[in-house]
A and B are shown apart, each in its own frame.
Chain A
C-alpha cells in the first residue's frame, strides 16, 4: 500500500514539474504563437544552472558554488532566460520558421556541449554532488518526497495563477492581438518584436524553473536528460491539452505523462524479451502519432482556448483551431 502511494507521489511530482514546463510553453506557443523547437535546452539550462550553482565542489568541472537553494534555482531560471533572450533577439524579427530552426539548433548544440564539455558540467557523466534542500531535516525517505511534492504543487499553482493573471491583463490581450494580426497591433503603436521577446523570455524562464525543480528532484542531471524526446513529450502535452488554455495544459501534462509511463510499463511487462530493445521506438511512434493525429482531427486540443470578447465582457466564445 505504502509502495503504491509512494509511487503515486513520485508520478505526480514528475507530472507536476512537466506541467510547469507545459505552462511555460503555452505562454510562448498558445498565447503568443511562438514556435519553440528547443524546449529541452531551456529546461536543461534551468536544471544544469541550479545544480551547478547549488552543488558541492566537484573535481574536474565547474560548480560547487554552494549557493542557498532559492538563489541557485533563481540562477538556473536566469540562465534559461538569458539563453532565450539571445536566441529571441536574433530570430524574432524574422519569419516564424527561423525561430523554429534556431531553437531546434539550440537544443542540439546544448546537448552536444553538455555531452562534450567535461570542464563545464561533467560531460557524459553529468553533474553530481548536489544536496537536496532540507535533506538534513527531512531525511531521504517518503516524508521528503511528500513534502517536495507539496512544494512542487505550490509552485505549479503559483505559476498557473501568475499566467492566468498575465493572460487576462492588458499584456495578455496584446499577446493575442499580435498572434492574430501583427500589422493591426503595429498600427496601434505596439512593438510586436519587443512584446514577442518578452513573452519568449518569460516562457523560457518558466521552462527553466521546471528544469531546476526536475534537477533538484533527482539531484542529478546528465545529457541523457536533455534529449529531444522531452521536447516532443512537452509538445504533445500542450497539443493534447489545448494550446492557449492553461488548465488544459496542466491536464494534458498529467494525461500524456500517464500514457507515457503506462505504455512503457505495459511494453516492458508484456512485450517478448527479444523485442524489448524496440519498446523505445514503439513509444516514439505513439507520441508522434498523437501529435499528428491531434493536429488532423482536433487541432484545438481537448480543452480549447476560451476567448473572451472584451466588449461583452462575460460571454466566453469558443473558437476553432486557434
Chain B
C-alpha cells in the first residue's frame, strides 16, 4: 500500500512532464530528449526565485501550515513556470526551428540530445554538482493509518493536488477554447490548419510555452519530493518517455494516465526486484506496450 501511494505521488510529476512532451512530439513530430532538462531549468529557476523573494519580503518566508512550502516558493513556482515556458520558446527559436527548417526529423532528435547535454552541464557549472533543497527543515510524514502503516508527507499531498489542478486547467483549455481546437487541428494536419487561418508559428510557440510551464511545475514538485540536482533530467527522461508511449504519443489524457502507471509500476517493482533495478522499469514498460499495443492506450496509428 505504501508503495502504491508513493507511486501515485511519483506519477503526478511524471504526468506533468509527459503532457508537455507528448504535445511537442505530436505537433513537431520528434522525440525531444531535452524535455527533461526543462524540468531542471524549472526547478533551479524556482530555487533562485524563492531565495530572491524570501530575501526581499521576509514575511513570505513563513511556512504554510504543515507544509514545508512557503508563500515565496508558491510565487517562485509561478515565476519559474513562465520563465521555463519562455526558455523553451527561445530554445526552439535558436536551435530546433532552424534544424527543422534544414531537414530531417531525426536531425531534431540528435539536436535535442546535444541540447540536453549542454543544458544539463551548464546548470551543473552554474549551480554546482551537489544537490540542493528548497527547505532545509525536515518534513515529517503524517501517519495515515497504523495497520498497515501508511505515511504521507503533507508536501506530497500538495504536489498531487496541484498537479491535478494544473491538469484540469489544461483539460478545460484544450476542450473549451478556440485555441484548443486550433492546437488539435495543427496536430492533425498543419497545412490544412493554416489554410483555415490558424497561425502555425504562434501555435507552435504556445505548445512550447505550455510544455515548458508544466515541465517547470513538474521539476519543482520533483524537487519538493526528492532533491534538486543537475542530473535530474537524465534520471527523468526515460520515465517521461515511457509515460508518453504507454499513453500513446499525442494523447494528453494518455500521458496523464501513463505518468501514473509509470510512477506506480516503478514504486511497486521494489516489492519484487531489488531497488537498484528501478531505473530499468520504464524501459520494461515501453517494451511491454510496444509488444501488446504499439500505439499506446489512447494513441492512434500515424505514419
For B238, the chain A residues whose CB sits under 8 A away are 104-105, 108
State in angstroms the CA–CA spacing of A228 and B121 once bound together: 14
Chain B binder among A11-19, A251-259, A290-298:
A290-298
Whether the pair A94, B294 counts as a contact (CB closer than 8 A) is yes
For A291, the chain B residues whose CB sits under 8 A away are 110-111, 113-114, 117
Cβ distance A123 to chain B, nearest Cβ, rounded Å: 9
Whether the pair B121, A281 counts as a contact (CB closer than 8 A) is yes
B276 is an interface residue with CB less than 8 A from chain A? yes
A33 is an interface residue with CB less than 8 A from chain B? yes
Whether the pair B117, A285 counts as a contact (CB closer than 8 A) is yes
For A197, the chain B residues whose CB sits under 8 A away are none
Whether the pair A90, B287 counts as a contact (CB closer than 8 A) is yes
For B287, the chain A residues whose CB sits under 8 A away are 90, 102, 105
Whether the pair B103, A284 counts as a contact (CB closer than 8 A) is no
Q: How many residues in A have their beta carbons less than 8 Å from beta carbons of B?
A: 45
For B294, the chain A residues whose CB sits under 8 A away are 93-94, 98
B116 is an interface residue with CB less than 8 A from chain A? yes
Main secondary structure of the interface of A (DSSP, over half): helix
- Which B98-112 residues have a C-beta within 8 angstroms of A? 98-99, 102-107, 109-111
State in angstroms the CA–CA spacing of A108 and B115 once bound together: 19
Cβ distance B35 to chain A, nearest Cβ, rounded Å: 12
Whether the pair B118, A288 counts as a contact (CB closer than 8 A) is yes
Whether the pair B117, A108 counts as a contact (CB closer than 8 A) is no
B280 is an interface residue with CB less than 8 A from chain A? yes
1/0 per residue B211-253: CB within 8 Å of A? Answer: 0000000000000000000000010011001100100010000
Residue in B31, B113, B115, B129 whose beta carbon sits within 8 Å of that of A278 in the complex:
B129
Residue in B104, B279, B283 whose beta carbon sits within 8 Å of that of A106 in the complex:
B283
Measured CB to CB, the residues of B under 8 A from A are 25, 29-31, 33, 95, 98-99, 102-107, 109-111, 113-118, 120-122, 124-125, 129, 234, 237-238, 241-242, 245, 249, 274, 276-277, 279-280, 282-284, 286-287, 290-291, 294, 302-303
Q: Can you list 30 A-B contacts with CB-CB less than 8 angstroms, sorted by A residue number?
A: A90-B290, A91-B290, A95-B302, A96-B106, A97-B25, A97-B29, A97-B109, A98-B290, A100-B33, A100-B106, A104-B238, A105-B282, A105-B283, A108-B279, A108-B283, A112-B276, A112-B277, A113-B277, A116-B276, A232-B114, A277-B129, A281-B124, A284-B117, A291-B110, A291-B114, A291-B117, A292-B118, A295-B99, A296-B102, A321-B102
